[in-house]
Amino acid sequence: MTKPLVALLSGAGISTDSGIPDYRGPNGVWRKDPEAEKLVTYEYYMSDPEIRRRSWQLRRKNRTLLAEPNAAHRAVAELERSGVPVRVITQNVDGLHQLAGLPARKVLELHGSARSFLCTVCHARGPMGDALARVEAGEADPPCLECGGILKSATVFFGERLDPVVLGEAVAITKACQVFIAVGSSLQVQPAAGLAGVAADHGARLVIVNAEPTPYDELADEVIREPIGTALPKLLCKVSAKSDASR
């Protein structure tokens, strides 16, 4: 028998142990400073140079590019190395699944990556560190070096569509998996949140690991409220053992 496919939807909660704050939790970015949402809203960002300047300063100060994978990220990578078919669908933009050792081709970044910048005009891309070095050198709102266009992080802002190819792959994996684990996600942001429902509708075992209740808890086969850093490694050990037994 082939081993069951495990799909894991990860949200901000999986990265809080790495020093990256979540968005909607009790200490979340949006709860602490509702105005911060404007910094990642496409319409505000494109029309207001002051919003862009504040955004660049926030990128310069935040810990995302300095963060290291934690026990939860490492546990996912270890599950994949054990031979279990694993695909990660992440709402995060921190790249920590890949840094933990999960092959990039097995990670679908629904909301893009904070590790790159993107030109909104010619779509040139590059390492975020290069753009931040220009900010450090005194450019408050660095333009594209190729065409002079406005640069932003290669993340999906509010008001932008998800990449339809990435989303399509995520839906296909969700429909095909036998186990679907939603970890550290409030399951409030669509269309990512809806994947939990798609998984349940297609017969996958749905497990939700999150500190607070989600709209999909009633559909879940198991809901875990323990801290993710300890709960997810424990859960994935069980998944691995069951996978070995199914061979």
Burial class (CB in 10 A: 0-12, 13-18, 19+), 247: exposed
- What is the rounded radius of gyration, in angstroms, for the C-alpha atoms of the chain? 19
Model pLDDT, residue 37: 82
Q: What is the per-residue pLDDT for 61?
A: 82
Query: Encoding tokens for residue 102?
Result: 């999960």
C-beta separation of 185 from 193 below 8 A = yes
- Quote the distance between the C-alpha of residue 166 and its chain's center: 13
Looking up tokens 């809203």 gives 41
Please name the fold of domain 1-20+69-111+162-247: Rossmann fold (3.40.50)
What is the CATH code for 25-62+114-155?
Answer: 3.30.1600.10
List the catalytic residue out of 97, 111, 123, 202: 111
* Per-residue pLDDT tens over the stretch 134-157: 999 999 999 999 999 999 999 999
pLDDT band with cut points at 50, 70 and 90 for residue 241: confident
Q: Where are the domains of the chain?
A: 1-20+69-111+162-247, 25-62+114-155
Q: Dihedral of CA 23/24/26/29: which sign? A: positive
Q: What is the pLDDT of residues 67-125, one digit of tens each?
A: 999 999 999 999 999 999 999 999 999 999 999 999 999 999 999 999 999 999 999 99
- Catalytic annotation present for 111: yes
Poorest-pLDDT segment among 58-67, 150-159, 214-223, 232-241: 58-67
Positive or negative torsion for Cα 177, 180, 183, 185: positive
Please tell me the distance from the alpha carbon of residue 159 to that of residue 213, in angstroms, as a whole number. 26
Q: What is the pTM (predicted TM-score) of this model?
A: 0.89
Q: Give every CB contact of residue 116 below 8 A, 6+ residues apart in sequence.
A: 125, 126, 127, 128, 153, 154
56: enclosing H helix or E strand: helix 49-61
Contact 164, 157 (CB under 8 A): no
